[in-house]
Amino acid sequence: MITVLVFAHLKEKFGQPRLVLEEQELTVSQLRRVLAEQYDLQDNSVMIAVNEEFAEEDEVIRAGDTVALIPPVSGG
């Protein structure tokens, strides 16, 4: 299982601070496909962080990794 942390408007959209996926391993692009198909989230402005670092599209996510969806930031 892979846990995906969500923040800001995504947390409100999903009504919870994390999504739990059944996959044991998938790439960032595959994660985007899962989010589009199963969670109705199709937004390329959302970045994906793996283990607290922005991830490339071909990076492999494994069970146990910390994954987070990062919508465009607005701090400062």
Partner 1 sequence: MFEIIATPIDTGKVTEHVMHRNAGAVVTFIGTVRELTGEQKTLYLEYESYVPMATAKLEQIGREIAEKWPGTKSAIVHRIGRLEIGDAAVVIAVSSPHRAHAYEANRHAIERIKEMVPIWKKEHWENGEEWIGNQQGTVAYPTGKPEVDQ
- Applying CB under 8 A, the residues found at the interface with partner 1 are 5, 7-9, 11-12, 28, 44-45, 47-49, 52-57, 68, 70-76
**Nearer of residues 15 and 76 to partner 1, judged by Cβ:** 76
Q: How many CB atoms are located within 10 Å of the residue 35 CB?
A: 21
For the bound state, the minimum distance from the C-beta of residue 15 to partner 1, rounded and expressed in Å, comes to 15
Written as one letter, the residue type at 44 is N
Residues 43 and 11 sit within 8 Å (Cβ to Cβ)? no
**Nearer of residues 15 and 72 to partner 1, judged by Cβ:** 72
**Nearer of residues 22 and 53 to partner 1, judged by Cβ:** 53
DSSP 13-54: HHTSSEEEE--SEEEHHHHHHHHHHHH----TT-EEEETTEE
For the bound state, the minimum distance from the C-beta of residue 63 to partner 1, rounded and expressed in Å, comes to 19
